[in-house]
Amino acid sequence: MKKNLLGISLLTISGLYFMLAAIIILIALLTDIPVLYGIVISIIILIVQFLISPWLTDLSMKWFYKAKFGYKLPDNINSFVEEVCKQNNMNFPKIGYIDDGAPNAFTYGRTKNDARVVVTRGIFELLNEDEIKAVIGHELGHAAHYDMLFMTVAQLVPLLLYGIYEICMDSEKSSSNNKNGDYTALIGIVAYVLYVISNYIILMLSRTREYYADSFSIEATKNPNSLASALVKIGYGLTTAPTNPKHSAARSNALGIFDAKTSKALIVSSQDDGQISKDNIKQAMKWEQWNVWAKWYEFNSTHPLISKRLLAISSRSRDFNQEPYITFDLKPTESYVDDFFVELLINVLPFLSFIIGIIVCAIVMANEGNFMVTAGIVLLIIILFSFIKFKRKYSSNPFKPSTVRDLLSEVKVSHITSIPCSLEGTIIGRGNPGCIFNEDFVIKDDSGIIFLDYNQPINIVNKIFALFKSPEYFEKRVKVNGWYRRSPVPYVELKTIEIDGQIKKVYTYKFILALYVIGVIIALGLLIAPFMI
């Protein structure tokens, strides 16, 4: 397994550096731009960053997440980690602990011998022992495979390609009479295209390494089904049981498993018997298997879709005398491709109308036409298309009482199409577990746990709320109204949250509506102004 991963990594990184070398050779042959100094400086900066980043991240964890290092894992978990480290000739990782009920685990560091593994209180309260071992085994896999080192080396390529693009564009502008000016601009464009391509190659490499970290955990625990159930609990939020009191003592003790790109961590707890309804899991998998947006989100993500990881893990179950954890045998009753293209059109129309509007206004000005009337009409068209998108995102349908399980089974939902819903449950932690500046929540009802997006129109208000008010909501029973979306993480953007009989409102919806009203007034003003002069 390690040899296969090493081969894939070396082949991918070699391809990336081949692209970089080709651009550098073109510059050397066709221009006189001194890019060598910039490349050397970038490499030095990246090396320094690589060397000091674990220390900086330690400080960030302590200051902003209130993480405590030197945490003593429960004996059975600690023995498991010691055995895995011994088998893989690596040092015991530095363990960090964040006192937050949202379960999360991640690793960082330079090599396998100075890795940090950070866990939250929620890991011990909401997962059983075998699942905890599987999650920590996944993180140890990242360290054992030198993922941090390989990804740093790979990420140097897009950094340098973008730097070359900027140098070429600046050089072309400042030396228009340079005989190599045409080559410089062309090389800059090629460098930018390769910069975009290299970023997607790195995302692909990252997703591949996630599969190998899962395989490492399976080999270490000899229990693929525990990793699968942990993925379902943390990734989908399916549960029918209260918080596990067995690990509540963890409260007093002084490269995540999912994509943290948007800081929307999904959480879950187990049923009393440790098993979750397979039908509920299949219902939750439908969106990833059928909705076209899921493929697009994965293409832009560091992590594979959870359903794909579940099926890959389940394919290993029989190797360890277990029945496959899950098989997805549901068939769609309709095509969702048409919905995707409708949503895609709704998403791009405001931008397209803006671009076309600029062109039309420029033509009118060039021909000495009535610019103000044209601008007013264009602005109304832009507002119309933008408002259509707004109404799709903030549906005006009633807020229907729902459960997490109900929401997860919805297929016709995305970052554009929302489902108004009402949930009742308990706030168990922050959306970004432990982060004192994160205003978002995680709510747990009788069927599962889901992320709540608290988003006031003025960002500083969100941060003040996070620092001084949000802790008052922890462990409290609440009722929320909002819009359920998926991108690909399931979440609910809040409109109201009721606690202790008081309703806290989020004003983003009304704020955007007010902006539309102002926009329409301006557009009408542009239309009638010429006739009032």
**What would the pLDDT profile of 417-466 be if each residue is shown by its tens digit?**
999 999 999 999 999 999 999 999 999 998 888 999 999 999 999 999 99
pLDDT at position 514 over 90: yes
DSSP bridge partners of 95: 117
Burial class from Cβ neighbours inside 10 Å (0-12, 13-18, 19+) for residue 161 reads: buried
Query: Which CB contacts under 8 angstroms, 24+ apart, belong to 134-137?
Result: 134/217, 134/221, 134/223, 134/226, 134/227, 134/230, 135/105, 135/217, 135/227, 135/230, 135/234, 135/257, 136/77, 136/80, 136/81, 136/105, 137/80, 137/84, 137/216, 137/217, 137/218, 137/220, 137/221, 137/227
Q: How far is CA 138 from CA 81, 190, 237, 255, 332, in A?
A: 11, 38, 19, 9, 32
Over residues 291-304, the pLDDT tens digits come to 999 999 999 999 99
When the pLDDT of each residue in the chain is averaged and rounded to a whole number, the result is 87
- Does the annotation count 288 as an active-site position? no
Q: pLDDT grade, residue 256 (50/70/90)?
A: low
When pLDDT is averaged across residues 119-140 and rounded to a whole number, the result is 93
pLDDT at 2: 59
Rounded CA-CA distance 206/223 in Å is 24
Rounded CA-CA distance 232/226 in Å is 10
pLDDT at position 35 over 80: no
pLDDT at position 273 over 90: no
Over residues 198-236, the pLDDT tens digits come to 999 999 999 999 999 999 999 999 999 999 999 998 888
Q: pLDDT grade, residue 188 (50/70/90)?
A: confident
Least confident of 33-47, 223-237, 347-361: 33-47
Rounded CA-CA distance 168/32 in Å is 11
Contact 444, 269 (CB under 8 A): yes
Contact 364, 371 (CB under 8 A): yes
H or E segment and range at residue 494: strand 490-499
pLDDT at 179: 53
Over residues 317-331, the pLDDT tens digits come to 999 999 999 999 999
DSSP bridge partners of 452: 441, 492
The model's pTM is 0.87
Least confident of 25-34, 71-80, 146-155, 321-330: 25-34
Exactly one of 139, 172, 210, 493 is catalytic; name it.
139
